[in-house]
Amino acid sequence: MQETLAADGVKPAKKTGPRVSLRRTTSGILVHLIIITAAVLIGFPFFYMLSTSLKTVQEVYTIPMVILPAAPQWRNFVEVWNLLPFGRFTFNSVVYTVSITFGEFMMGLMAGYAFARLRFPKKDLIFFLVLLTFLIPGEITLIPRFIMLKQLNWINTYPGLIVPELSSAFATFLLREHFQSLPDELFDAAKIDGAGYFRQLMQIALPLSKPIVSTLLLLAFVAHWNAYMWPLVVTNSQSMRTLPIGVQSLRDVFEFPEWQYIMAGATIVVMPLVALFLIAQKQFIEGAVQGALKG
Amino acid sequence: MTADAHRSSATGMRSWRLTERRREYIAFVLFILPNLTLLIIWTYWPFFHSFYLSLTNWNLLRPTWDMVGVDNYVRLLRSPEFWQITRNTLIFSFGTVSIGLTLSLALAVALNQWLVARGFWRLVVFSPHITTSAAMALVWISMYDPKHGIFAAAFSWLGLRFPNVLSSPTFVLPAIMLVAIWKSLGFSTVVLLAALQGVDTTLKEAAAIDGANAWQIFRHVSFPAITPVFYFLTITGLMTAIKTFDIVSVMTGGGPANRSNMYVFQIYREAFGFQRMGVASALAVIMFVIVMLFTYLQTRYKERWVSY
């Protein structure tokens, strides 16, 4: 994609005469300067996080500031990992994120398929009911949900963290649209072969949906990995905290903030996402664009 | 083929289709039931329940509660604290969205020019969008550190003193707005870039032949073509900004003196700090109404804004 775009941009320059191309060169340099400045500013917090996480305490508290540590202190990561139960936080984050991402996806997959390809009286009305939940922000359901969890004795438990978050209107909506676009003939052939609806879904519809499925899974994974308010409200003991919440306790551990440890903690939280983003940047960016341009 | 045979095959066909249809209905119900049940229990029911709660004086610490009608709303609307929080939320939301979208548009236009390694720049610009707000908020606290942060270092290099922005009534809101802008910039830039790339090049070329300069082409060809996307980003940006919680909770806790407090953090504090579920629910309902207003604007004025 990148090459074709760059080639596209080059084309007009070729058509124009030498005088204009000089002007184009200066404006081209200007554009590059703007972009490089913006990228440096936007990327700076990441650099700052990493470089601080590798400093010694002395380097953190030196004035004037030390930009890069003299020798990277990798053991900050080991120390911070043992300072708080980071293994437990990570385990909780993985359980929370993976089960919601997968559960939400299965719900959306089945419901999306049913709404797209199965007949049922008034099914558009039912779909509308599902769609309406888009309009209900999590902030307004928070308190009643908390009261329900309290009555169920589900506060500070995995079911309490996970079950209320499992349903998804978004996945249902996107997958329904996608399944509607698949040609009928594919399914007719399978019906004649006697395939049940679930098998039609898993063996015909799903393999034809890889791009949208990977986008959905990635977006859901990031959203739940980053979730803060919900796990904060539902959990109350350190052993049940997820990473984004657990890492906050690093601020209470020291008398003065030892930024090298706090930044190492922040790096631990963010790193899996950065890795995922570098591997699947195309899906992330296209997912964002699709979601916005469709709306 | 005789008429008789024809009829019998038709009835055979019909009974087959009936059972087939019944099977389809059963499959439909089984397929949507898990999702629908969870949505009803964990979204619809709590949604309506919070309207009810907003009319009570439910306090988690007390076993009983009474209906108090609209008392919670009246108390909220009469308290200066509520108006302070409303003001903060509105300044924060309109400020971050207007500044953020202006910067995004400029960046998107720049990224749409001929560029070396465009994919890389787009990647960097987008990256804050996928990171954990609660973790990056810690990084920003560290950068804002009045003695050892990068801002303090830069200011002292210029011979200036950097204030403790996170405990300053004047600077705390701008300080968290900058974090929100940093976080949201990449998403809108990438979306606007895609929209700009979708603009018909023949239109731009035609305008160029007619003697339009780069600014005129942007103003009269490109921008009108992307207004629907721009409008969409404005509304969804406002809706997201109004619901900001993570950075307030981590960076300021609403302080100092409520100067950075916003709706969602106040809902959280009323409910889980002071256990006042009734007041918190009333505030949640008010916020919901405001968010609905934006949703309405999004659908209602969409057509009017689009100018091709």
Task: Give me the mean pLDDT over the A43-49 stretch.
Answer: 96
Report, in this order, helix, strand and coil percent for chain A, each rounded to 5.
80, 0, 20
Q: Does pLDDT of B307 surpass 80?
A: no
CB < 8 Å from B in window 32-61 of A? 32, 34-36, 38-39, 42-46, 48-49, 52, 60-61
Q: Do B30 and B117 lie in a common domain?
A: no
Residues found in chain B: 308
Tell me whether A22 touches chain B (CB under 8 Å): no
Residues B143 and B29 placed together within one structural domain of the fold: no
Same domain for B34 and B84, yes or no, is no
Residue B231 lies in a domain: yes
Locus of tokens 């403790």: B164
Q: B181-197, pLDDT tens digit by residue?
A: 999 999 999 999 999 99
Q: What is the mean pLDDT of residues A63-92?
A: 92
Provide the shortest C-alpha distance from residue A97 to chain B (in Å).
13
Average pLDDT of span A143-170: 95
Residues B95 and B162 in one domain: yes
Exposure letters B125-150 (e unless 16+ CB within 10 A, then b) = bbbbbbbbbbbbbbbbbbbbbbebbb
Q: What is the pLDDT of residue A6?
A: 39
Average pLDDT (A22-38) is 86
Could B147 and A263 be called an inter-chain contact, meaning their C-beta atoms sit closer than 8 Å? no
B191 in a domain, yes or no? yes
- Measure B250 CA to nearest chain A CA, in Å: 8
Parent domain of B266? 80-305
Distance of alpha carbon A29 from alpha carbon A35, whole angstroms: 10
Residues B168 and B248 in one domain: yes
In a domain, B241, yes or no: yes
**pLDDT at position A294:** 65
pTM of the model: 0.90
Residues B34 and B174 in one domain: no
Transcribe A119-179 into DSSP letters: --TTHHHHHHHHHHGGGS-HHHHHHHHHHHHHHTT-TTSHHHHHGGG---HHHHHHHHHHH
What does pLDDT average to over chain A? 88
State whether B33 and B112 are in the same domain.
no
Identify the weakest region by mean pLDDT among A150-164, B87-101, B141-155, B202-216: B202-216
Q: What would the mean pLDDT of A80-85 be, rounded to a whole number?
A: 94
Domains, chain A? 8-74 (no CATH), 84-253 (1.10.3720.10)
B58-62, B64-68, B188-192: which range is least confident on average? B58-62
Whether residue B45 is contained in a domain is answered as: no
In this prediction, residue A230 carries a pLDDT of 97
Q: What percent of chain B has pLDDT over 70?
A: 92
Q: Cα separation of B203 and B222, whole Å?
A: 9
> What is the pLDDT confidence band of residue A11, given thresholds at 50, 70 and 90?
very low
Predicted confidence (pLDDT) per residue in B262-284, tens digit:
999 999 999 999 999 999 999 99
ipTM exceeding 0.85? yes
Q: How many domains does chain B have?
A: 2
Do the domain assignments include residue B6? yes
pLDDT at res. A18: 54
Out of A29-38, A149-158, A284-293, B186-195, least confident range:
A284-293
The confidence score (pLDDT) of residue A94 equals 97
Q: Is residue B63 domain-resident? A: no
Say how many CB pairs under 8 Å bridge A and B: 299
Map residue B59 onto helix, strand or coil: strand
Q: Please say whether the beta carbons of B288 and A144 come within 8 A.
A: no
Angle at A72 between CA A70 and CA A73, to 5 degrees: 120
B173 shares its domain with B247: yes
Ramachandran angles phi, psi of B54, nearest 5° = -70, -15
Radius of gyration for the alpha carbons in chain B, expressed in angstroms and rounded? 27
> Percentage of chain A surpassing pLDDT 90?
67
Residues B130 and B268 in one domain: yes
Say yes or no: B88 and B211 in one domain. yes
Answer yes or no: is B64 within a domain. no
Q: What is the pLDDT of residue B124?
A: 94
The pLDDT value given to residue A257: 86
Q: Chain A within 8 Å of B306 (Cβ-Cβ)?
A: no
Residues B287 and B63: their CA atoms lie apart, in Å, by 28
Does residue A198 sit at the B interface (CB-CB below 8 Å)?
yes
Q: What secondary structure does DSSP assign to B236-281, as a single string?
A: HHHHHHHT--HHHHHHTTT-STTTT--HHHHHHIIIIIS-BHHHHH
pLDDT higher than 90, residue B99: yes
Cα A69 to the center of its chain, rounded Å: 31
Q: What is the mean pLDDT of chain B?
A: 89
Q: Say which CATH number the domain at B135 has.
A: 1.10.3720.10
- The pLDDT-based confidence of A19 (bands split at 50, 70, 90) is low
Q: How far apart are CA B87 and CA B78, in angstroms?
A: 14
Asked if B296 reaches chain A (Cβ–Cβ under 8 Å), the answer is: no
In a domain, residue B52? The reply is no
In this structure, the answer to whether residues B25 and B150 fall within a common structural domain is: no
- In angstroms, rounded to a whole number, what is the distance separating the alpha carbons of residues B121 and B137? 23
Rg (CA), chain A: 25
**pLDDT bucket at B7, cuts 50 / 70 / 90:** very low
pLDDT at A198: 86
8 Å CB contact between A204 and A187: yes
Q: How far is it, in rounded angstroms, from Cα A58 to Cα B134?
A: 26
Structure tokens at B271: 């409910």
Question: Is the confidence at residue A271, as pLDDT, over 50?
Answer: yes
Q: Are residues B118 and B223 in the same domain?
A: yes
- Which residues numbered 187-246 in B keep a CB inside 8 Å of some CB on A? 187, 190-191, 194-195, 197, 229, 232-233, 236, 243, 245-246
